[in-house]
Structure 1
Amino acid sequence: MKTSDDLRSLLERIDHKGYPAYKDTRGSYRFGGYTLHIDHVQGDPFASPSKVSISIPGRNAGFPARLYDLPHKRIALQDYLTRVFGRKLESYNFKAKGSGKSGLISVSRCGQEILERTALSIHPESGDISVHFEIGFPARGRTIAAFELIKILFDFLPECVLSSFYYKKLNAGALEDVLSLAEDQKYIRDQLPKLNLCAFVADGSVLPRESGVSSRPMRQAVAFHSPDSLKVTLNLPYHGPLSGMGIPKGITLIVGGGYHGKSTLLKALELGVYNHRRNDGREYVITDDTAVKLRAEDGRSIKNTDISLFINNLPNGKDTVSFSTEDASGSTSQAANVIESMEAGTSLFLIDEDTSATNFMIRDELMQRVVHRDHEPITPFIERVRGLYEDHGISSVIVAGSSGAYFQVADHILQMDRYMPKEITDFAKEESKAFPPVTLPNEKPDSPSFHRVVKPSRTSPKNGRNKIKTLGKDAFQINKETVDLRYAEQICDSEQTTALAYALLYAQLHLIDGKRDLCQIAEELLALINDKGLAAILDSGYVKSNLAMPRRQEIHAAFNRFRKL
């Protein structure tokens, strides 16, 4: 292996040469206490920055094994160190001068959620640390500015590494806080099924966000406080006693006036499938981690999905046991989303009537009398929600602001009043007696079929160069094919979208053979990731793009929305 002196000599030799001479720097270089790897060099100063990484032996980093010996602790520590390193790099960003992206130094930007990322990984046994980030190699025009890069690699970077990845240089109290929060969050998550709960919202939580484009907590927001009837007190390993609202399994209805916090509560539950950082306001909002937010999705593609639980006897005679369309309606898309979520293993549906198809959710008694059931192909969700829980173990949390029909089938009814929840189950049930109940079917429907074999596309990518492009959290492209994920609303980071793109590409190259079904493919992808790490799905020897771990539910969502499969 080459030394840092070798790298310095090389850079001095190529100073003022044409930019392509930077390619000679690729390789590994031994610095004091860590190794620098120049994995990929950008083609010119205006291209995407160069990909570099560092590796630090666990004996040098010196982190006690108790901080990373279990997955939830390791992921929390990785997240914390990535944030520390990112802040250090920010202080040196663009201090080396030049054209284009010269002097840029950046690592993954972590949001409020704590996710496993390829940007930084800690080996669970040795404690070795590997960090992937980007540097814009400096140039003047398209001429190498080697001494600017020397400043980055020999002055800025060692300081950032030393102050970010060496245990003795870090705040021990902050590290203990990371550990304690991770342990407490894991404890709550483990307690949910034992207490027959599908979610927990701690008293004092701050649910509203700063703005529509900021996920930071709103200042001076009303803190959450549980109604006494649903209050649960947990004795956390580090925090000690913590009280909050436990949402029982079954069917829970959230009602209230506009702007009183119904959707805000539901949004917090949506993202409660992830752990959150300290001071996010939602760090103790914990939801069943298989939960899926359901909505209508007009225009999406559906492939061979059994939606007969909800839709039958279409006027055109189209098969709904193996339903396909390239342009789904609101009701058919939401029906497909239910079935696909069941296939992905969810045990909790989260639904907001504002983003649902009305005819999928409810047909009131008057409409049933005017348009007879025999003439309506849609069996609304209200007629299936009880069976989904009793027969399939899938709970539902539903936000309703205009229709009281769900009072009839709900187990618990919460009213949000100025962001404060009140349980009104008995009152709402009593009031509903004055109105005609919705007629529910007596017959028990057949369980949907989930065995969907995935067949290769005629335009499947080949081994070799395939172009991946991520469009924020909303979509990705594989070569020229776009997968629209705007309505997979629990994707919280664009790096998850990138990971889904690479997972789909990997499956096309290695797993989709016309014999495996979707569940088998997702299972094999997750097994590969668990065994070899998230970077195992990348199709190259270096980390082209940093990835963040998606859930099984989002892997299914990406496959289901890829029109060419």
Structure 2
Amino acid sequence: MQSAAELKQLLDRIDHRGYPAYKDTKGQYQFQGYVFSIDHVQGDPFASPSKVSVQVKGSTAGFPEELYKGRHQRAALQDEMTRQFYRAIQKYAFRAKGSGKSGLISVSKCGQEVLERTACEINPKNGDVKLRFEVGFPANGRTINARELEKIVFGFLPECVEQSLFYKNCDKKRVRSIIDLAEDQQYIRDELEKNDLIAFVANGAILPRESGVSDKPMKGAVRFQSPKEMEVTMKLPHKGEISGMGIRRGITLIVGGGYHGKSTLLKALELGVYNHIKGDGREYVITKDDAMKIRAEDGRSIKKTDISMFINDLPNGKDTRGFYTEDASGSTSQAANVIESMEAGASVMLIDEDTSATNFMIRDELMQRVIHRDMEPITPFIDRILELYQVYGISTVIVAGSSGAYFHIADTIIQMDRYEPKEITKLAKETAKDFPAMSGMENPAEKPVFIRCPRQGRGFKPNDRIKMKTMGKEMVQLNRENIDLRYVEQLADTEQVSALGYCVRYAEKHLFQGKDSIQNVVDKLEEKICREGLSSLCESNASVANLAMPRRQEIFACLNRYRGLNL
């Protein structure tokens, strides 16, 4: 390791030389209180910025152990440190001048959700902190401007590091409140399981968002207030007593007129699998963390998936115990999404009628009389929903606006009325008596088989370089293969998509051997991440990208949408 003075001398030597001379700066340098590491140097001032990191010893950072001892506390503290560093660098970005990306200083921009990220990692054993970010090394044209880089490294960064990564300079009351919130959120998650609940929505929560492009809370929105019949009260470790709507295990139906808040409530439940920051309005909207949003997804690929629970006896004789298609219909895609969610271990399914295939969800009595069951290969979801709960323990929350078919079998019915929920189960079931219930299936389905064992894709070799590119939250590309994630709606951040790309890339290189099922592959990925960190999926420190932790369910979803999956 070299000293900060040696870095300054090196910069003096290479000043005004050609841009490739910046490569000589790669290495670690001891600054006062931290180590500054140049992990990867960009090829020219117009290329992706250089990757750098700062490492602070736990004894120097000084954060008390109780702030990072558990995974949820640690995630909250890492998130806060990243946010603080992001704020600190805003006044310095592009203050150093030059061509292209010269002077850029960037770190992960955190959203409303609290996610584990490679941007900031705290070692739970000793409190050591590592912060990764990017810097555009300055140049005039393609000639090094070392004086401007000195401004960044010796002038701007020390102040940002001290503000963000040293406990003595932090707002201790704010940090403590963030950890308290994380502990309260985890307490609610634990209470869900103990009290047979699948979700909790606190009174006073703000569910509507500012706009379609902003995830911040809407100003002046109606605050959530639980129906008395569904209200539960918990005593949190820090906030104290809190009341809200508890959604119990079983089948829950959310109904109401258009624009009254049905889908807004469901969206809050979808993202309730993550913790949210203070001020988001959904801090105390907590859903079981394995809940999965289910929808139709026309055109997706399906790889040897057992959809026979819902689709059988196709006219073309196609096997539905190992169904394969490169262009799924709405009904087959939704059937596959249900089965794949079961494979991923989901205990809750969230469904919106608006994004579902009608013929997958219901077949009304008249249609059943005209087109007899023997002539219809699709067993609608309404005929299996009780079976999913009673046999597999999977609860369902459905938003319905046009069909009352589920009234007969729902355990709980919530009406949204101008964003105010009302419990109308008794009223709805009394009314439903005047309408005959649809005849359900007489025999339960055979248990789906999950034995798909991926092999390494054609053209992939362990030492081959696999190119990867992400496009927002919508897509990740491996070599020339696009993985379409547009309809994996619980992805909250583009960095999760990047992490999924690295998961698939690592699996292609090391795990797809034709011996392990997809479940085992995901188990091994999670074990590696838990043991070595999310950054271990990257090939080296120099290639560590900005990654955020995806859930187990999203790893499954990504693998299942990977058209290059070789089964």
State the TM-score, normalized to the length of structure 1: 0.99
Work out the CA distance in 1 between the residues paired with 2:207 and 2:485: 24
One-letter amino acid of the counterpart of residue 120, structure 1: C
> Is contact 1:45-1:101 (8 Å) kept?
yes
User: What residue is the counterpart of 2:321 in the other structure?
Assistant: 321
Q: Deviations over 1:496-519 (max 9, x none)?
A: 000000011101111110111000
One-letter amino acid of the counterpart of residue 141, structure 2: G
- Size of the aligned set, in residue pairs, is 565
User: What residue is the counterpart of 2:384 in the other structure?
Assistant: 384
* Gap regions ≥5 residues in structure 1: none
Displacement of 1:462 = 4.1
Give matches, 1:374-413, under 5 Å.
374-413=374-413
1:118 paired with 2:98, answer no
> Is contact 1:252-1:411 (8 Å) kept?
yes
User: What residue is the counterpart of 2:560 in the other structure?
Assistant: 560
Q: Deviations over 1:336-389 (max 9, x none)?
A: 000000000000000000000000000011111111000000000000000000
Q: Deviations over 1:530-562 (max 9, x none)?
A: 011111111234244111000110000111011
One-letter amino acid of the counterpart of residue 469, structure 2: K
User: What residue is the counterpart of 1:89 in the other structure?
Assistant: 89
Deviates more, 1:444-453 or 1:253-262: 444-453
User: What residue is the counterpart of 2:18 in the other structure?
Assistant: 18
User: What residue is the counterpart of 1:207 in the other structure?
Assistant: 207
User: What residue is the counterpart of 1:447 in the other structure?
Assistant: 447
- The alpha-carbon distance between structure 1 residues 402 and 469, as it changes in their structure 2 partners (threshold 3 A), is same
1:168 paired with 2:168, answer yes
Work out the CA distance in 2 between the residues paired with 1:15 and 1:520: 53
- Residue 102 of structure 2 aligns to a residue whose secondary structure is coil
User: What residue is the counterpart of 1:144 in the other structure?
Assistant: 144
User: What residue is the counterpart of 1:3 in the other structure?
Assistant: 3
User: What residue is the counterpart of 1:518 in the other structure?
Assistant: 518
Q: Deviations over 1:138-183 (max 9, x none)?
A: 1111111110000000000000001111111010100110111010
> Is contact 1:535-1:543 (8 Å) kept?
no
Give matches, 1:218-237, under 5 Å.
218-237=218-237
> Is contact 1:76-1:114 (8 Å) kept?
yes
Displacement of 1:12 = 1.1
User: What residue is the counterpart of 2:463 in the other structure?
Assistant: 463
Work out the CA distance in 1 between the residues paired with 2:130 and 2:271: 28
Give matches, 1:278-289, under 5 Å.
278-289=278-289
- Residue 452 of structure 2 aligns to a residue whose secondary structure is coil
- Residue 410 of structure 2 aligns to a residue whose secondary structure is coil
Work out the CA distance in 2 between the residues paired with 1:125 and 1:517: 34
Give matches, 1:174-253, under 5 Å.
174-253=174-253
User: What residue is the counterpart of 2:263 in the other structure?
Assistant: 263
Work out the CA distance in 1 between the residues paired with 2:464 and 2:122: 30
Work out the CA distance in 2 between the residues paired with 1:141 and 1:444: 71
Alpha-carbon RMSD across the aligned residues, in angstroms, is 0.7
Displacement of 1:464 = 3.9
Displacement of 1:467 = 1.1
User: What residue is the counterpart of 1:77 in the other structure?
Assistant: 77
User: What residue is the counterpart of 2:107 in the other structure?
Assistant: 107
> Is contact 1:75-1:115 (8 Å) kept?
yes
- Residue 92 of structure 1 aligns to a residue whose secondary structure is coil
- Residue 5 of structure 1 aligns to a residue whose secondary structure is helix
Q: Deviations over 1:405-441 (max 9, x none)?
A: 0001100000000001000000000111111211111
User: What residue is the counterpart of 2:420 in the other structure?
Assistant: 420
- Residue 542 of structure 2 aligns to a residue whose secondary structure is coil
> Is contact 2:462-2:510 (8 Å) kept?
no
One-letter amino acid of the counterpart of residue 146, structure 1: A
One-letter amino acid of the counterpart of residue 475, structure 2: A
Q: Deviations over 1:298-331 (max 9, x none)?
A: 0100011000000001010101011000000000
- Residue 42 of structure 1 aligns to a residue whose secondary structure is coil
Q: Deviations over 1:13-55 (max 9, x none)?
A: 1111111111110000000000000000001111000000010
Work out the CA distance in 2 between the residues paired with 1:107 and 1:264: 31
Displacement of 1:454 = 1.3
Work out the CA distance in 2 between the residues paired with 1:61 and 1:540: 25
- Residue 521 of structure 1 aligns to a residue whose secondary structure is helix
One-letter amino acid of the counterpart of residue 319, structure 1: D
One-letter amino acid of the counterpart of residue 399, structure 1: V
> Is contact 1:459-1:564 (8 Å) kept?
no
Work out the CA distance in 2 between the residues paired with 1:323 and 1:288: 30
- Residue 130 of structure 1 aligns to a residue whose secondary structure is strand
User: What residue is the counterpart of 2:67 in the other structure?
Assistant: 67
State the TM-score, normalized to the length of structure 2: 0.99
One-letter amino acid of the counterpart of residue 153, structure 2: L
User: What residue is the counterpart of 2:430 in the other structure?
Assistant: 430
Displacement of 1:456 = 2.0
Work out the CA distance in 2 between the residues paired with 1:155 and 1:440: 72
> Is contact 1:119-1:133 (8 Å) kept?
yes
- The alpha-carbon distance between structure 1 residues 540 and 219, as it changes in their structure 2 partners (threshold 3 A), is same
User: What residue is the counterpart of 1:352 in the other structure?
Assistant: 352
One-letter amino acid of the counterpart of residue 293, structure 2: K
One-letter amino acid of the counterpart of residue 92, structure 2: Y
1:539 paired with 2:539, answer yes
User: What residue is the counterpart of 1:310 in the other structure?
Assistant: 310
Work out the CA distance in 1 between the residues paired with 2:202 and 2:544: 40
1:294 paired with 2:299, answer no
Work out the CA distance in 2 between the residues paired with 1:457 and 1:129: 38
> Is contact 1:461-1:505 (8 Å) kept?
no
> Is contact 2:288-2:348 (8 Å) kept?
yes
Work out the CA distance in 2 between the residues paired with 1:461 and 1:134: 31
Give matches, 1:468-507, under 5 Å.
468-507=468-507
Displacement of 1:461 = 5.2
Work out the CA distance in 2 between the residues paired with 1:52 and 1:461: 30
Work out the CA distance in 1 between the residues paired with 2:240 and 2:67: 20
One-letter amino acid of the counterpart of residue 379, structure 2: T
One-letter amino acid of the counterpart of residue 243, structure 1: S
Identity %: 62
- Residue 63 of structure 1 aligns to a residue whose secondary structure is coil
* Gap regions ≥5 residues in structure 2: none
1:509 paired with 2:509, answer yes
> Is contact 1:234-1:242 (8 Å) kept?
yes
> Is contact 2:30-2:36 (8 Å) kept?
yes
1:46 paired with 2:46, answer yes
One-letter amino acid of the counterpart of residue 26, structure 2: R
One-letter amino acid of the counterpart of residue 451, structure 2: H
- Residue 35 of structure 1 aligns to a residue whose secondary structure is strand
